[in-house]
Structure 1
Amino acid sequence: MTPSSPHVLVNVNGRYITVAHGTTVAAALALAACGAARTSVSGEPRAPVCGMGICQECRVRVDGNVRLACQTLCAQGMLVEPMA
């Protein structure tokens, strides 16, 4: 990808995908077909619900830091890992 490229390459749970600039991590999760941002205490996959950061269901690790997927834009080379 060149600096002027309209796309970025991100690693979502071990799978590399290309998304458009301005794509949220929540959307990248859906595009990567995993959809889940974290796993509940009972082991159920949890996905983004509200899309505006209120519900906290979209918590993920982005480059080792906890972030809300619905409020974080994808960046070139970003590593996104669902929370356990």
Structure 2
Amino acid sequence: MHGPKLKRFFFHVRKGKELVRDREGALFNDVGDAITEALICAKTGRGHKGNVGSTGKAFEITDETGKLLATVPIA
């Protein structure tokens, strides 16, 4: 018996017109878990894979097809 299949989500960082793409992504059970991770990262001021630090930025969470699923402001 296998557990639930994890899905890959990408945490791109948007600052104005600039978009820094997350090329690796991360595995989560669902988009809710990915949003929770983004909220934690945004609140603590750290990026998903490093320090992104400043205001005026947001995570754009996408699925493997590139579909935008959520936008989370970075504090």
Q: TM-score with structure 1 length normalisation?
A: 0.33
Structure richer in helix, relative to its length: 2
Q: TM-score with structure 2 length normalisation?
A: 0.35
Structure richer in strand, relative to its length: 2
